[in-house]
Amino acid sequence: MATETRRRPWLKEPLLLGLLAFSVFDFPRLAALLSPLIGEGKPSVEWAPLPVLAGQHIGVVLLSSTASFLVAFSLGAASHLYGLKGLQELLLNVGSFGESFPTAAVIALAVPALGYGFEPLLLALFLYGLLPVLMNTIQGLTGLDRDVVQAAEGMGLTRVQRLLRVELPLAAPMILAGVRTAVIINIAAASIGSVVGAGGLGMPIVSGIRTFDPVLILKGTIPIALLALLADSLFRRAERRLDRRVRSATPA
């Protein structure tokens, strides 16, 4: 039956974007507005302007998430295509093991090999983004309606045709949800990058912790939170859109 759900109006995302821009480009005014709650900040040295730090933050998240997506999606899709159940279990186990490693530890271990700066952070975030995408790709592809998959096989679609024309389009919302998780994790985890000299919005947070300055901590935290909320909202919107397309025929 026709159940075309109402399109959601674009309200939340522009609001979040506006707040994000405000917090990044005019933090002093935001801090002044919030001063009854958080008190006055201490005078501090600014290492780099906040917009630059935000740009670094977003850049490293985009880069690492894209890399995680490409690798994890390919691994997940390939292991499904060739029916490698054993490999899938191994991948998921290695993935969860990797996930249980603290970010700080990964970065610390990467520094001797890659040196200070951007690279160890990128490596850590890349590794962290793998599991959610991998897990959702594998589960999305294996959890499809058996009737639909078998119909495709029984009609004479080849393995690759089934994957490209039926399985991936149907699993897309689930896979996208995995990418969303990876991005959100990375937005938060990228703060740690400041300790190895990778910049980002973690800089004011770390300085704020050192100098016991809550305003400085919020200078990094507020944009990070807004960025995470905005990314989450945009991804969910895309997922809903895909989900509407693949919702099943018969209300069983």
Partner 1 sequence: MIELGGVSKSYGAVPALDGIDVTFGTGQVCMLLGPSGCGKSTLLKLVNRLLRPDAGTIRVDGRDIGELEPETLRRGMGYAIQGVGLFPHMKVAENIGIVPGILGWPRARIRDRVAELLELVGLPADYAAKYPREMSGGEAQRVGVARALAADPAILLMDEPFGALDPVNRQRLQQEFMGIQRRLRKTVVFVTHDIGEAVRMADKLVLMGKGTILTEGPPLEIAGRAELVAKAFLGSGFVLELLEKYTVLDHRHLLVPAEGCPPGTGRVEARTATLKDALSAMLLAGRDCVEVDLDGVPYRLRFEDLTRAFAGNTL
Least distance (Å) between residue 149 CB and partner 1: 9
Residue 14 vs 143, nearer CB to partner 1: 143
Residue 81 vs 114, nearer CB to partner 1: 81
What does the binding site for partner 1 look like in residue numbers (CB under 8 A)? 1-3, 147-148, 150-158, 161, 165-166, 169-170, 245-250, 252
How many Å apart are CA 194 and CA 205, to the nearest integer?
A: 9
Report how far apart, in Å, the C-alpha atoms of 204 and of each of 16, 111, 200, 207 are: 21, 21, 9, 5
The helix/strand count (H/E) of the chain reads as: 11, 0
Residue 75 vs 152, nearer CB to partner 1: 152
Least distance (Å) between residue 1 CB and partner 1: 7
Residue 100 vs 250, nearer CB to partner 1: 250
Least distance (Å) between residue 2 CB and partner 1: 5
Q: Determine phi and psi for 186, rounding to 5 degrees.
A: -70, -35
Report how far apart, in Å, the C-alpha atoms of 154 and of each of 129, 162, 195, 250 are: 36, 11, 56, 20
Q: Determine phi and psi for 95, rounding to 5 degrees.
A: -60, -45
Least distance (Å) between residue 139 CB and partner 1: 18
